[in-house]
Structure 1
Amino acid sequence: MQNMLTMISNALCRIMGRNAGAQKVSEGARAVVSRSFTDFTPQATFDIKKCNLHRLEEGPPLKAELTREQGLRYYRTMETVRRMELKADQLYKQKIIRGFCHLYDGQEACAAGIEAAITPSDHLITAYRSHGYTYTRGVPVKEILAELTGRKGGVAKGKGGSMHMYAPHFYGGNGIVGAQVPLGAGIALACQYQGNNQVCVTLYGDGAANQGQLFESFNMAALWKLPCIFVCENNKYGMGTSVERASASTDYYKRGDFIPGIRVDGMDVLCVREATKFVADYCRSGNGPIVMELETYRYHGHSMSDPGVSYRTRDEIQEVRSKSDPISMLKERMLSNNMASAEELKEIDVEVRKEVEDAAQFATSDPEPPLEELCNHIYYNNPPLEVRGTHPWAKLKSIS
């Protein structure tokens, strides 16, 4: 009798077009069927915001395709960066992380979108707000947090800190404002010289956009037609100064003058992905450099020493969070198009939180590097040499 009731209940669910996860109660018997992947929409096409163009006849498409697998991957990536940065905020306030610390929460769509559009063999260099790109370039959360806490298991063995993290084809994390831009042009020159069809994504903030070295790099890259994507992450504030107070022209995508440019909604991971595909194809085709401005927003202050509310209001921050949050935007797209369930995304949230908590546990329990390792790796391949230590009479031996 019980089996017959279950069969009738399942048949009614199918007739009424209900999902496999629907519950049907009939005469005291409840049949619950697990929802399978076949119930979800495998792929959907979304309208995305049109990009502003400079010296270009056409730009990225106005529609973007998203598969369920991609959506879940982007969601996990952005959620991981968000949780990692919130944990860094907590550790800093507990005085476990010391020194400079610039957080990336709010800007996750930039890192996730760019990484989705380039290959692991392409190159990327950024400024001091580098944690997000360190993660998308393949470094585990625990190595990033351990670097922030100055531990031996950090990505730079605890000796680099917040602004100096590296990975294959990722060159930091650079503490000097704008200094990474000529370095990125140099990496692009190496790509051209080696003829490997690779590009270099060279990122800087709106606060660095008026630096002289930026325009010198633009000039050389244009003269030599280097495969360099100059990316301005315009988060509206350079430290505590708004872009309107700092720049006579806030059209950063036009600031290359003779170099084509494109302005993109940097809060939408699909916009960033499609625009990055477009500019990467442009550079790989031998057209030379291009400037891409990503309009984004940081939720934290400039650094952990900046509360971030003396030059902007809490209402302004909350408005961006409520209307343009990159994670919420992707989540809403996926749920409204039946590409995932709320329970499934919640499960990802739980997994990410556990990963970050485990990483924090490692970052607070791993030992600090010993003093004898202080001078190691000064040179890449030199034989051991003596280096003056903490005072003129102390000698340390450096190994490469």
Structure 2
Amino acid sequence: MNSLSEPTRDIIVQALRGALDVEHTSGGVVPHRLPRSVDSYHDEETLRINATQPSGVRLAFTTAARCLTLTALSTRRLYPGMDPASVLVTYGAVSGDLTMEQWETEGPYDVLQLGGPPEHHTGKPASLIFELGGDGTARDVEIWLPNNASIEILDLKADAPFQPTPHSDIPRWTHYGSSISHCAEADSPLSTWPAVAARKLGLNLTSMAFGGGAHLDHFVARIMRDLEADLISLKVGINIANGDTMKRRTFIPAVHAFLDTIREAKPEVPILLISPIACPMQETNPGPITWDARSGKLRTVPPPVTGQNIGSLNLTEIRLLLAEIVTSRSATDSALYYLNGLELFGLNDAPDLPDGLHPNTAGYLRMADRFVGNERIGEWLRGG
């Protein structure tokens, strides 16, 4: 296995954008989207895994190189019965108007097992070659890392010197959300809706969106409080309904506490609170939901005892509560905005929910377009 030289390791670490922590291994570096120091604050292995999947994370270089070669070891997580070859690990490169993608399927993968440790399958590193062309003039290049696999960066080579791009003064956007913002289902890291929106709006994205992990955890609010940010968005509610992890009684104060924590250090930073997009099975039904192997879709689980779901939340109720919270706080917080998630992806878009919950790539791209063009987004941006 390749091993990073110290000079290249330093350049890669400095070039990372959107990562909150970097793990140094014997062979290279692993970007993390949550500080590893908070691993002991929860016992959800899925959250730890998803924090190592670098959705929205990219390497930003300035170089005159015509060709860049990134060597990395990716690890996919598969459900039983999935064909490993069907899950592409995709990398994207952007330089001005030039975009390109490279993918691989030869890295290791873990098959998740119900009630037990995952079944591990070995694999090998891949070298992703980006033919950038150019006339030998230095320009900025970004390599967007995969949205659906954990990766260890092992080497970076080019046919000309490369250096980290200096941090720009474009607005810094921190976005918090669920799998529907993590977008592991998107074909490429360049087609996740936050990445597309950030590029179109000229924003410096930090994605704190974790599949299954948006439960208003207080340690996440503290991380967001302490991060430098010019704009903040919070897309909340779907995971709480999916898992039935909060009742109405606990959800309302949890949203207020999350906002209060951020406001401790950022009293004037514009915050956009986004309610859930359409999910037909949970519009009027509370969770939890489960995977139905026969249909290949998710479905709600009826409560086994009559009355057990008293106080449980469906998406219609969550949208009303979030709108009310923003209205009640607006008397003292003029930098707080609300966006109904149905304006990004409504019930008429349901054909683009293959599993009943997650949009496909077409759905994510539509969400990005609607986000960019939404009048409320304009108000949020002007507030920043």
TM-score, with length taken from structure 2: 0.29
Q: Larger % of helix: which? A: 1
Q: Indicate the structure (1 or 2) with the bigger Cα radius of gyration.
A: 1
TM-score, with length taken from structure 1: 0.28
Higher relative contact order (CA 8 A, sep 6+): 1
Q: Larger % of strand: which? A: 2
